[in-house]
Amino acid sequence: MLKKAVIKLLRYSEQYIKTDMVHFAKSNFWLNLNRGMGVLNGFALSIAFAHFLTKESYGTYAYVLAVLGLFSMPMSSGLGSGLAKPVARGHDAVIFDGMRAVLPWSIGGGVGLVLLGIYYFFAGNITLAVSFIIGGIVLPISVSNGVAKSFLNSKGNFQMMTRFNLWRSPVMTALLIITAYFSHSPFFIILASLIGNTLMGLFLYLSVKKTYGKELSQKTEEKFPRRFAFHSAVLSIFGYLSEKMDS
Q: pLDDT tens, position by position, for the chain (247 residues)?
A: 544 443 444 444 444 444 444 444 454 665 666 677 778 888 999 999 999 999 999 999 999 999 998 998 888 888 888 888 888 888 889 988 988 888 888 899 999 999 999 999 999 999 999 999 999 999 988 877 788 888 888 887 878 888 888 888 899 999 999 999 999 999 999 999 999 999 998 999 999 999 998 888 888 888 899 888 888 888 888 887 777 666 5
**Angle (nearest 5°) at CA 107 between 142 and 154:** 45
Rounded distance, CA 165 to CA 203, Å?
A: 12
Q: How does DSSP assign 143-211, residue by residue?
A: HHHHHHHHHHHHHT-HHHHHHHHHHHHHHHHHHHHHHHHHH--HHHHHHHHHHHHHHHHHHHHHHHHHH
Q: Which residues of 66-84 are buried (b: 16+ CB within 10 A; e: fewer)?
A: ebbebbbbbbbbbbbbbbb
Crossing angle of helices 158-183 and 186-211, in 10° steps, is 160
pLDDT reported for residue 172:
93
Task: Find out whether 96 and 80 touch, Cβ atoms under 8 Å.
Answer: no
| Greatest pairwise CA separation for the chain in angstroms | 68
Task: Give residue-wise pLDDT tens across range 216-233.
Answer: 888 888 889 988 888 888
Global pTM?
0.81
pLDDT reported for residue 221:
84
Task: Find out whether 146 and 79 touch, Cβ atoms under 8 Å.
Answer: yes
Which H/E stretch holds residue 4?
helix 2-17
Taking the alpha carbons of 214, 26, 38, 41 in that order, is the dihedral positive or negative?
A: negative
pLDDT reported for residue 154:
83
Rounded distance, CA 87 to CA 223, Å?
A: 11
